[in-house]
């Protein structure tokens, strides 16, 4: 079955970016000239996703407004003859079908995915985290979907990270079956360095089979008192095969302030309009 739907869990409070996120979702923080969430939605659309399911919370109204039509703004742009800006605004609204479901309590990533169960239905689906921005020669989630089409089972996006950082991630153990692809034999959520089965971290890209919902429903709160998706995936691996894809591309963890700044600088230097003058400005700074 084709992967048509993608779940975006965006209900988190974004406390690492306080006070900026006190009144705005972290997913709406700008990266050059677009909010973070738009980069991830565009990645999904490039992979052929037809419907985005946002799992939101009470402070996330700005995301809904951003992907909705704004007739007042469109009329003003049209009357002012600003046709290029009008096209850009309309493109955001028209790029994909969007729907929303509320996660009433912040009970973890596993619970956020479970909240989308009724909208997903009985079909495989993608999950993308909105603060992982991935620059890649081809859509990162598209790379995972290609693996799904080959193996017809759950596919995890993974990245090799320094061992001293592995306790910040879920990680996998597995056997290499083809270049950049592993058959998973175990998963652990945020293990201590001396207990980690590998340096392969699970990042914010997944293709999941619908069997995951039944398992999440029975998963007890784990690390941090939350219902961890990694714990549910560990149980799923006992029932059916799971593969992990070491994606091609560069990831920025834009939920981290320093990584967000790095993404801003590196992507600004590549920007077709601002890259050259921005590079000259950087070069002119005192050493």
Mean of the pLDDT values across residues 87-104?
A: 90
Helix (H) or strand (E) holding 229: helix 229-239
The percentage of residues in the chain with a pLDDT greater than 70, rounded to a whole number, is 100
* DSSP secondary structure letters along 120-182: H-SS-EEEE-TTEEEE-SS-HHHHHHHHHHHH-SEEEEEEE--GGGGGGSEEEEEEEEETTEE
Structure confidence at residue 13 (pLDDT): 75
Mean of the pLDDT values across residues 148-169?
A: 93
Region for residue 6 given its phi and psi (left: phi exceeds 0; alpha: psi -120 to 50; beta: otherwise): beta
Residues 51 and 97: beta-carbon distance below 8 Å: yes
Whether 276 is covered by a domain: the verdict is no
Structure confidence at residue 30 (pLDDT): 93
Q: Does residue 6 have a pLDDT over 80?
A: yes
Distance CA 42, CA 88 (A): 13
Pick the closest to residue 127 from 116, 135, 138 (CA basis): 116
Q: What is the pLDDT of residues 10-39, one digit of tens each?
A: 988 778 888 888 888 899 999 998 999 999
Pairing of strands 125-128, 5-9: parallel
Structure confidence at residue 262 (pLDDT): 94
Q: What is the pLDDT of residues 43-86, one digit of tens each?
A: 999 999 999 999 998 888 899 999 988 889 989 989 898 889 88
Structure confidence at residue 115 (pLDDT): 95
- pLDDT band at 221, cuts 50/70/90? confident
The percentage of residues in the chain with a pLDDT greater than 90, rounded to a whole number, is 66
> At which residue do the structure tokens 């007739």 appear?
71
Structure confidence at residue 254 (pLDDT): 92
Of 4-8, 25-29, 43-47, 122-126, minimum mean pLDDT range: 25-29
Whether 284 is covered by a domain: the verdict is no
Residues 233 and 209: beta-carbon distance below 8 Å: no
In DSSP terms, 215 is beta-bridged to none
DSSP SS3 for 232? helix
Structure confidence at residue 202 (pLDDT): 94
Whether 267 is covered by a domain: the verdict is no
Structure confidence at residue 263 (pLDDT): 94
Start-to-end CA distance of the chain, whole Å, equals 55
Distance CA 100, CA 119 (A): 9
Residues 65 and 19: beta-carbon distance below 8 Å: no
Whether 261 is covered by a domain: the verdict is no
Distance CA 247, CA 213 (A): 25
- pLDDT band at 284, cuts 50/70/90? very high
Helix (H) or strand (E) holding 186: strand 181-189
Across the chain, mean pLDDT equals: 92
Whether 248 is covered by a domain: the verdict is yes
**Domain, as residue range, for 137:** 5-255
Whether 63 is covered by a domain: the verdict is yes
Region for residue 50 given its phi and psi (left: phi exceeds 0; alpha: psi -120 to 50; beta: otherwise): alpha
Whether 144 is covered by a domain: the verdict is yes
CATH code of the domain covering residue 158 = 3.90.550.10
The domain total for the chain is: 1
């Amino acid at each position: 079955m084709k992967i048509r739907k993608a779940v975006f869990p965006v209900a988190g409070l974004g406390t690492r970016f306080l006070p900026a996120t006190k009144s705005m979702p972290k997913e709406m923080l700008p990266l050059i000239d677009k909010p973070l969430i738009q980069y991830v939605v565009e990645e999904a659309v490039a992979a052929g996703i037809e419907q985005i399911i946002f799992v939101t919370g009470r402070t996330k109204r700005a995301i809904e407004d951003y992907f909705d039509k704004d007739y007042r703004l469109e009329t003003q742009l049209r009357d002012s003859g600003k046709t290029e800006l009008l096209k850009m605004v309309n493109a955001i609204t028209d790029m994909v079908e969007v729907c929303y479901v509320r996660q009433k309590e912040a009970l973890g990533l596993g619970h956020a995915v479970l909240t989308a169960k009724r909208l997903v239905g009985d079909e495989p689906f993608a999950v993308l985290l909105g603060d992982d921005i991935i620059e890649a020669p081809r859509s990162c989630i598209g790379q995972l979907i290609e693996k799904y089409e080959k193996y017809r089972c759950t596919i995890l996006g993974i990245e090799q990270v320094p061992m001293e950082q592995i306790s910040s991630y879920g990680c996998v153990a597995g056997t290499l079956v083809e270049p950049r692809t592993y058959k998973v034999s175990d998963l652990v959520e945020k293990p201590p360095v001396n207990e980690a089965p590998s340096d392969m971290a699970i990042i914010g890209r997944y293709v999941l089979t619908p069997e995951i919902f039944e398992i999440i429903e029975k998963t007890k709160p784990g690390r941090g008192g939350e219902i961890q998706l990694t714990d549910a995936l560990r149980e799923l691996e006992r029932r059916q095969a799971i593969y992990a894809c070491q994606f091609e591309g560069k990831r920025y963890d834009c939920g981290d302030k320093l990584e967000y700044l790095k993404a801003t600088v590196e992507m600004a230097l590549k920007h077709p309009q601002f890259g050259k003058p921005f590079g000259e400005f950087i070069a002119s700074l005192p050493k």
